[in-house]
Amino acid sequence: MIERLIEYDKALMIHINSDWNHPMLDLVFKHIRETYFWAPLYIFFIMLAIFNFGKRGWLWILAAILTISITDQVSSNLIKNNILRLRPCRDPEIAEQIRIFIRYCPGSSSFTSSHATNHFGFANFVVLTLRRFTGPWINVLYVFAAAVCYAQVYVGVHYPVDVISGALIGAFIGYGMNAIFNRQIGLPMPGVN
């Protein structure tokens, strides 16, 4: 059963990377997975918290940073150091079949995707803590996080199972951090400190 899942995972990765491509997507997905691409969004949320929630906004920023720190440690240190899976770009079985158009292929384990874990953890924390203030448009953060996950497969550094697992773990951590933050601190209505 596991062997069959791994076969399907590799086949889907090859399709996403080599068959379902376009030069415009090559350009977009190469950048969408990088931190600098998302910096304006992070700055937007920092400014939103500072200007609308006063002192609790600063605590919200710290909780968001803590969420990303936890997701990164769980994925990068706890899981990757114990489940050693070759990345597609380093896997001799498929490396010749895929396109690699980023600067380098990381040497760390492929499972789980830290990008997926971090982005879904952050997205879930932000959505669940801010939805009552922003309305449903905030859900677009899940689309952004999913785009980062897809980009990781598209550029050849992760398998689909890596990003799906990372997304689920990140979403779980983001949910937990949201529950702790809302129970212990919570955000006041804008203008109320």
Query: Which tokens hold the place of 85?
Result: 């899976």
What pLDDT sits at residue 190? 57
Output the CA torsion sign for 101, 105, 106, 112.
positive
Average confidence (pLDDT) over 126-150: 93
Output the CA torsion sign for 138, 140, 141, 142.
positive
Give how far Cα 43 sits from Cα of 38, 40, 47, 49, Å: 9, 5, 6, 10
What pLDDT sits at residue 60? 96
User: pLDDT band at residue 159, thresholds of 50, 70 and 90?
Assistant: very high
What pLDDT sits at residue 93? 87
Which tens digits make up the pLDDT trace of 67-111?
999 999 999 999 999 998 989 988 888 888 888 877 788 888 889
The predicted model scores a pTM of 0.90
Q: What percent of the chain has pLDDT over 90?
A: 61
User: pLDDT band at residue 151, thresholds of 50, 70 and 90?
Assistant: very high
What pLDDT sits at residue 2? 82
Average confidence (pLDDT) over 27-33: 89
Q: Give the integer Cα–Cα distance in Å for 15 and 182.
A: 42
What pLDDT sits at residue 56? 92
Evaluate if residue 160 carries a pLDDT over 80: yes
Quote the strand ranges of the chain, DSSP E. none
Mean pLDDT of the chain: 91
Evaluate if residue 193 carries a pLDDT over 80: no
Q: Give the integer Cα–Cα distance in Å for 160 and 67.
A: 23
DSSP assignment of 100-142: --SS----S--SS-HHHHHHHHHHHHHHHHHHHHH-GGGGHHH
Evaluate if residue 8 carries a pLDDT over 70: yes
Q: Fill in the DSSP letter of residue 34.
A: S
